[in-house]
A and B are shown apart, each in its own frame.
Chain A
Amino acid sequence: MNIYLLLKAVADSEATIRPTTDGKAVNLDGITWVLNPFDEFAVEEALKMRDAAGSGEVVAVSYGGEEVPKVLRNALAMGVDRGIHVKGAATFDALATARALANAVKGQSFDLILCGKSAIDLDNHGVGVMVAELLDLPSVSVVVKIEQKAGKLLCEREVEGGLVVVETPMPCVVCAQKGLNEPRYASLKGIMAAKKKPIDEVEGNAGESQVEVIEIQPKPQRQAGQILGQGVDAIPALIQKLREEAKVL
Chain B
Amino acid sequence: MDHLLTEQQLDIKSAIREFAEKEIAPSVVERDEKSQFPAEIVRKLGELGFMGVNTPEQYGGAGLDCVSYAIVIEELSRIDPSVGVICSVNNSLICYPLQKFGSDFQHKKYLRPLAEGKLLGAFCLTEPGAGSDASALTTTAIKDGGEYVLTGEKAFITNGLMSDTYIIMARTDKTSKTKGISAFIVDADSKGFRRGVNEKKMGIRSSDCCMIILEECRVPAENLLGNEGDGFKVAMTALDSGRIGIAAQAIGLSQGALEAAVKYSKQREQFGQQIAEFQAIQFKLADMQVMTEAARLLNYSAARKKDAGQRFTVEASMAKLLASDIVMKVAMEAVQIHGGNGFLKDFPVERMLRDAKVTEIYEGTSEIQRTIIARQLLTE
Contacts and interface: CB of A to CB of B under 8 A. Distances in A.
Interface of A: 32, 34, 70, 73-74, 77, 185-189, 191-192, 194-195
Contact of B49 (A32, A34, A189, A195): A189
B56 to A, nearest CB: 12
B50 interface: yes
A189 B47 CA distance: 10
A73 B11 CA distance: 8
A185 B12 contact: no
A-B CB proximity, top 3 nearest: A188-B49, A188-B62, A187-B48
Contacts of A73: 7, 11
Nearest to B72: A188
Contacts of A187: 47-49
Nearest to B52: A188
Interface string B42-69: 0010011110010000000011100000
A191 B18 contact: no
B24 to A, nearest CB: 12
A77 B15 contact: yes
B62 A192 contact: yes
A186 B11 CA distance: 10
B193 interface: no
A74 B15 CA distance: 8
Given A185-B19, A187-B49, A188-B62, 10 more contacts: A34-B14, A73-B11, A74-B15, A185-B15, A185-B18, A185-B23, A189-B62, A191-B8, A191-B15, A192-B62
A189 B48 CA distance: 8
Given A194-B11, A195-B8, A188 B47 contact: no
A85 to B, nearest CB: 15
Contacts of A192: 8, 62-64
Interface of B: 7-8, 11-12, 14-15, 18-19, 23, 44, 47-50, 53, 62-64
A70 B50 CA distance: 21
Contacts of B53: 188
A195 B6 CA distance: 12
A77 B12 CA distance: 10
A191 B11 contact: yes
Nearest to B12: A191
A187 B12 CA distance: 9
12 contacts: A34-B18, A74-B11, A77-B15, A185-B15, A185-B23, A186-B11, A186-B15, A188-B48, A189-B62, A191-B8, A192-B64, A195-B8
A73 B12 CA distance: 11
Contacts of B48: 185-188
A188 B60 CA distance: 12
B2 to A, nearest CB: 12
A149 B345 CA distance: 53
Contacts of B11: 70, 73-74, 77, 186, 191, 194
Contacts of A77: 11, 15
A14 to B, nearest CB: 9
Give the one of A32, A34, A191 with max B CB within 10 A. Answer: A191
Give the one of A32, A74, A186 with max B CB within 10 A. Answer: A186
A70 B64 CA distance: 20
A191 B11 CA distance: 7
A188 B19 contact: no
Contacts of B15: 74, 77, 185-186, 191
Nearest to B11: A191
A191 B48 CA distance: 10
B66 to A, nearest CB: 14
Contacts of B47: 187
B3 to A, nearest CB: 16
A191 B64 CA distance: 11
A187 B23 CA distance: 14
A209 to B, nearest CB: 30
Nearest to B49: A188
Contacts of B63: 192
A141 B64 CA distance: 41
Nearest to B15: A186
B299 to A, nearest CB: 20
Nearest to B9: A191
A106 B50 CA distance: 40
B45 to A, nearest CB: 10
Contacts of A194: 11
Contacts of B49: 187-189
Contacts of B12: 188, 191
B123 to A, nearest CB: 22
B68 to A, nearest CB: 8
Give the one of B15, B18, B44, B64 with max A CB within 10 A. Answer: B15
A77 B14 CA distance: 12
Contacts of A185: 15, 18-19, 23, 44, 48
A186 B14 CA distance: 10
A24 to B, nearest CB: 28
A125 to B, nearest CB: 25
Contacts of A186: 11, 15, 48
A192 B6 CA distance: 12
Contacts of A70: 11
A69 B71 CA distance: 21
A146 to B, nearest CB: 24
Contact of A188 (B14, B18, B23, B64): B64
A189 B52 CA distance: 11
Nearest to B64: A188
Nearest to A194: B11
A32 B50 CA distance: 23
A216 B15 CA distance: 31
A191 B49 CA distance: 10
A185 B12 CA distance: 11
